[in-house]
Amino acid sequence: MANILVVDDELGIRDLLSEILNDEGHQVELAENAAQARAARARARPDLVLLDIWMPDTDGVTLLKEWSSSGLLTMPVIMMSGHATIDTAVEATKIGAMAFLEKPITLQKLLKAVEQGLTKSAGRKPVGPNAAAHPVDLTVEAAMTGGALPIAVDMGPQPTQSFMLEKPLRDARDEFEKAYFEFHLAKEGGSMTRVAEKTGLERTHLYRKLKQLGVDLTRGKRG
């Protein structure tokens, strides 16, 4: 179990990430702005930080730079944004961010990035502004990760499947629902937001449903 700090000014994103990370066994601290993030960093000493770039008071890159210059960047930081440019991503990498997640954040990429960040957390030294940047690719995420989050592609669940009907109703229903959600997760590239819209479920309820059905949420992006 790790202590993870989630910094985002959007309540829905904080709640969703907290729900997912708590279910994975982690302890989660929440902050909606840079002031709260500073206090949580001093109080909880997180093992990893998920940091939004665009916030109303102090943006995430500025906060990252502040931590780096003061020697407080002793934990892996994963940046998050739906509107970042490659220049912003490269700047954050030079300061010391280890990865970047584009919103809407897919479940597979979130869990993979957190797993890799926590692996690097042990024995991590403070990162200064002269840290080497990852090579820049065509996307913001690639610019930040330098290929750190490889995606395995397979055929994934197929739209037409057969089910054994000589089962109790509950078992047959669960089997169908699992196949249904696996198909839509594969079709939408693991995006919880798009699957929630497609299926008409609220994201937190959708996540709980997937866990209940035993859907493999850590599997790589499917074709």
Average pLDDT over residues 80-103: 86
Q: What is the pLDDT of residues 144-193, one digit of tens each?
A: 554 444 333 344 566 666 666 777 888 888 888 888 888 888 888 888 88
Lowest-confidence region among 1-5, 19-23, 43-47, 218-222: 218-222
CA 221 to chain centre: 14
CB 67 within 8 Å of CB 5: no
pLDDT at position 196 over 80 = yes
Instruction: Compute the distance between CA of residue 119 and CA of residue 139 in angstroms, rounded to an integer.
Output: 25
Provide the pLDDT for residue 183. 86
Distance CA 14, CA 121 (A): 22
pTM of the predicted model, to two decimals? Answer: 0.65
**For residue 70, what pLDDT band results from cuts at 50, 70 and 90?**
very high
pLDDT for 193: 82
Average pLDDT, stretch 60-67? 95
Q: Collapsing DSSP states into helix, strand and coil, what is residue 13?
A: helix
What one-character-per-residue DSSP string does 142-175 give? HHHHTT-S---------S------SS-HHHHHHH
d(CA 178, CA 19): 20
> Distance between CA 18 and CA 84 in Å, rounded?
23
